[in-house]
Chains A and B, each alone.
Chain A
């Protein structure tokens, strides 16, 4: 390696390191707070004098006013996330199959319109969405959040899955047609198995999108037994003497599933982000 190149590389490393630290500092604070006893909460220490796991015990045993429905709310979050992922995948795979493989006439238009929806920031649609859910009598139900998140995740899913689908050689479909497969059989026996890696990536995307959603969950859900954990976390801030360390402990727990999912599927995620996940 030439000195010049080594110098360039060192500079890049330095920038990378700074960004890494910058990103990790809040997470570090989150963690430190979560193992700090209530009494020391605002000591501002880099490391607590008497680290403890009590906060976690309190959270897991629902031992605080704000945590009365912790497990149910965690379940709500999971249920919403999984439902959103499944519905988004159903819509995305069917639409991409129709556009890319059946080559329906309006496919191209649909696919472009799907992307167009992202010109409007999701937050701007909050009021119309609220009104719509009201009209269908879904306000307060987890289904309102599920349907909303599916609405936001689907266009991206359609667009991305369509990109992957286009990479599958069309001759595979033609060969299958000659072999005697109907469109439904091509979908189940050829298309789905080959799309699996990209479906994992897109499914994870939808799952995390729904899991992390705050605005719409806050807007559409109200009762303590219907809200997701994200909204419950927000409720902590409704008093002046918020139990910060419990909030942080809950926050850490809340962040674990996405981290685990991301770690488990990182291969597909990277492939998903860089495209070309499907080998012909």
Chain B
């Protein structure tokens, strides 16, 4: 096992730069998830760590060793691909043993390691099958098996679950997490699904257009997003973001929207009177209120059983509230939602950065 360190790494394709200097320190044994919208450079970064793409600038270290010029096969990493990349002409057993065979491991050692991996992953009944005779979930497991037989320093995953159906995805994500707890191998996992990121990661790296927006534990990102992008990306349903102007008057702070609604704020909010801001409140931090709060007109009610999503119109702005108890409203009804003041996020409208406090 080893730490991985990415220092000021850049990637250019010809004149086009797609990664603009990224720094990430990953301690030994950590499970890090790279998350971000499509095209933000997650795969490119992962592939640079894997040695499948050249590094245009900066340094990547695995352990203490700079690997910029080290070929993939000597980096002691294993990778799980989105389409699994199983060798179609080899059985599950041969697929899993291939890397050891190339490394001239002894037959007995290969057999033993494959057996151990197949037991961990529940692949014993399928060892003699070919990939095309397996279901998607089983193929996914074989791809994992191929990675773990080698006992590498680092696991790299590039959207390994995105070809599975929703139910299997949830199951596999738990399995991968459990596997990591068992093996404790440093892992870097790419996904564009923020739920996957939140549930699996020790730490999340949120990427956007070739830069890192924020690095932190799932809770840190959820509770203190550094900027509008992270706030909007993390959390489901997405955070409500409402534009307005910060008002301070004596000890009282609030945000005035263009439509003339006053959004309540804590007494200790920072920022200057008159500053254009974006007011952020997560749907689950709105509570139905009898008086005070935000007057809204309900447009859609979605009971999910565990909670109820209420989509509503706040003088032209669409907002969403998630309530544990069904608030007993119908489309067209009017209600008031009260933000929990300690959960309000305030961002500068110009820079999108979080306002301290």
Q: Which residues of A contact B (CB under 8 A)?
A: 169, 171-172, 174-182, 185, 189-190, 193-194, 279-280
Chain A proximity mask over B128-144: 1 for CB below 8 Å, otherwise 0: 00001000000000000
Within 8 A of A (CB), among B59-90: 71-73, 77-79, 81-83, 85, 87-89
7 closest A-B pairs (Cβ-Cβ)?
A: A171-B85, A179-B99, A175-B85, A180-B73, A180-B102, A193-B89, A171-B81
Closest Cβ of chain B to A10, distance in Å, is: 40
- CB-defined A-B contacts under 8 Å, sample of 14: A169-B85, A171-B83, A172-B85, A174-B81, A174-B85, A175-B85, A175-B87, A177-B52, A178-B78, A178-B79, A179-B99, A190-B87, A280-B83, A280-B88
A100 to B89, CA, bound (A): 19
Q: How many residues of B contact A (CB 8 A)?
A: 23
Q: Which residues of B contact A (CB under 8 A)?
A: 50-52, 71-73, 77-79, 81-83, 85, 87-89, 98-99, 102-103, 132, 146, 150
Chain B residues, Cβ within 8 Å of A174: 50, 52, 72, 79, 81, 85
**Closest residue on chain A to residue B78 by CB atoms:** A178
Contact between A185 and B102, CB atoms less than 8 A apart: yes
A280 to B83, CA, bound (A): 10
A171 to B88, CA, bound (A): 12
A266 to B18, CA, bound (A): 48
Contact between A179 and B73, CB atoms less than 8 A apart: yes
**Closest residue on chain B to residue A171 by CB atoms:** B85
A189 to B94, CA, bound (A): 11
Best-surrounded residue of A174, A175, A177, A182 (most CB of chain B within 10 A)? A175
Contact between B73 and A177, CB atoms less than 8 A apart: yes
Closest Cβ of chain A to B159, distance in Å, is: 12
A229 to B3, CA, bound (A): 70
New contact pairs (18) apart from A171-B82, A174-B72, CB-CB < 8 Å = A169-B85, A171-B81, A172-B87, A175-B79, A175-B85, A175-B87, A175-B146, A176-B87, A177-B51, A177-B72, A178-B51, A178-B73, A178-B78, A179-B150, A180-B99, A180-B103, A181-B73, A181-B102
Closest Cβ of chain A to B157, distance in Å, is: 12
A207 to B107, CA, bound (A): 41
A279 to B150, CA, bound (A): 27
A171 to B84, CA, bound (A): 8
A280 to B84, CA, bound (A): 11
A279 to B88, CA, bound (A): 8
A178 to B81, CA, bound (A): 11
Chain A residues, Cβ within 8 Å of B146: 175, 179
Contact between B132 and A279, CB atoms less than 8 A apart: yes
Closest Cβ of chain A to B131, distance in Å, is: 10
Chain A residues, Cβ within 8 Å of B150: 179
Chain A residues, Cβ within 8 Å of B87: 172, 175-176, 190
A176 to B51, CA, bound (A): 13
| Known contacts A180-B102, A181-B102, A190-B87; A175/B132 CB under 8 A | no
A189 to B98, CA, bound (A): 10
| Known contacts A171-B83, A185-B102; A178/B89 CB under 8 A | no
A176 to B99, CA, bound (A): 8
**Closest residue on chain B to residue A280 by CB atoms:** B88
Contact between A194 and B89, CB atoms less than 8 A apart: yes
Contact between B102 and A178, CB atoms less than 8 A apart: no
Chain A residues, Cβ within 8 Å of B82: 171
Closest Cβ of chain A to B73, distance in Å, is: 4
Contact between A178 and B83, CB atoms less than 8 A apart: no
Closest Cβ of chain A to B72, distance in Å, is: 5
Closest Cβ of chain B to A161, distance in Å, is: 17
| Known contacts A169-B83, A171-B81, A185-B102; A178/B88 CB under 8 A | no
Best-surrounded residue of A177, A180, A182 (most CB of chain B within 10 A)? A180
Closest Cβ of chain A to B44, distance in Å, is: 13
A208 to B150, CA, bound (A): 47
Chain A residues, Cβ within 8 Å of B51: 177-178
Chain A residues, Cβ within 8 Å of B71: 177
A174 to B50, CA, bound (A): 10
A189 to B95, CA, bound (A): 12
Closest Cβ of chain A to B2, distance in Å, is: 16
Chain B residues, Cβ within 8 Å of A169: 83, 85
Chain A residues, Cβ within 8 Å of B102: 179-181, 185
Chain A residues, Cβ within 8 Å of B72: 174, 177-178
